[in-house]
Each structure stands twice: as structure tokens, then as C-alpha cells.
Structure 1
Amino acid sequence: MTTELSALKEAIALAGSQSELARRISKLTCTNVKQQQVWNWVNRSQKTPSKHVIAIESVTGVSRSKLRPDLYPS
């Protein structure tokens, strides 16, 4: 399991579920993120899309450098 995937799974656990993480991102960013998209991040791309990194950090506290170390080196 990659660092990015571990961080994403940590964010999901902190939010409580994929659905809740999607709701929190949607509310913060005024976009429409669905649970299915979060599922795709975990099971297909295995990392957080760059446009959602800051929102996930804001709603879960998982640092951007853990979510996407390629974009935000520590």
C-alpha cells in the first residue's frame, strides 16, 4: 500500500466513511463529490486528486504532504 493510499484511508476513517468524507468535501468546496468518486480514488487511482487535497486536509486534519507527497513535499 502506498503512502498516498494510506493517508486517504486515514482521512476516510477520520471522517467516518467514504460517504461522510464526500459530504464534507462537498460542503466545504460547494461542489458535488459523491461516495462513488471517493471509492474510485481508493480502488482505482489509489491517491487523492490534486484538486481535493486541501479540502481533505481541512475536514480531516490529514496533512497534504501525506495525501500527496509528490505535490507537497515535507
Structure 2
Amino acid sequence: MNLHEYIKPLEKDDLDSFAARCGTSAGQLKQVAYGNRRPSAGLSICIERESKGSVVCEQLRPDIDWAYLRSTPGNSSQAA
């Protein structure tokens, strides 16, 4: 699922809440969802976390080697 598909059905209050949990604004999320802005690596991580994995970092920022980062010792997926 991409970010646009994820946020499209959200009511305004839910979108605002999601954006706040991601540390950004609803407007910024819409800019990212429509492809007008590229999210930072940090925002990509927040979006994945707050969407409970529905929107993944690899989809948001395919230019980053997320596979390497996910396999690095000390990350939450290997610590569990």
C-alpha cells in the first residue's frame, strides 16, 4: 500500500492525528503522498511505524538501502 492509499480514507481528525504522531503536518503528508515532496529517512520510518507497516520505507524512499539497515545488529526486528 502506498501513502496515498493509506491516508485517502482517513477523516480530517484521523489524518491530523496520524500526521502528529509522525511529527509532521497533514499538508506535508499530502505533499509526500502526491509525489510533490520526498520524505526524509526519519519521516519514512515514522510513517511505517505509525501505519503499523501498511506503508513501508522501501516504498517511500527506494533510493535508501533499507535492507542493509534492517539487517544491522541492534535493530528492533532482530532484538525481538
TM-score bracket, shorter-length normalisation: 0.5 to 0.7
| Alignment CA distance shift 1:21-1:55 (3 Å) | farther
Shift of 1:35: 1.5
State the alpha-carbon separation in 1 of the partners of residues 40 and 15 from structure 2.
14
State how many pairs are aligned: 64
Gapped regions of structure 2 (runs ≥ 5)? 68-80
1:26 Cα deviation from its structure 2 partner: 2.1
- Which residue type is aligned with residue 56 of structure 2? S
In 2, Cα distance between equivalents of 1:44 and 1:20 = 22
**After TM superposition, which residue ranges in structure 1, 4 or more long, deviate above 6 angstroms?**
none
Corresponding residue of 2:59: 66
Query: Distance in 2 between the 1:40 and 1:73 partners?
Result: 22
Q: TM-score, normalised by structure 2?
A: 0.52
RMSD of equivalent CA atoms: 3.0
Once residues 2 and 28 of structure 2 are traced to their aligned partners in structure 1, the CA distance between those partners, rounded to angstroms, is 16
Give 5+ residue unaligned stretches, structure 1: 1-5
* C-alpha distance in 2 between matches for 1:54 and 1:34: 15
Structure with the larger RCO, 1 or 2 (CA within 8 Å, 6+ apart): 1
8 Å contact from structure 1 (residues 22, 38) kept in 2: no
Q: Which residue of 1 aligns with 2:3?
A: 8
Residues 4 and 30, structure 2, Cα contact 8 Å, conserved in 1: no
Tell me the secondary structure at the aligned position of residue 44 of structure 1.
coil
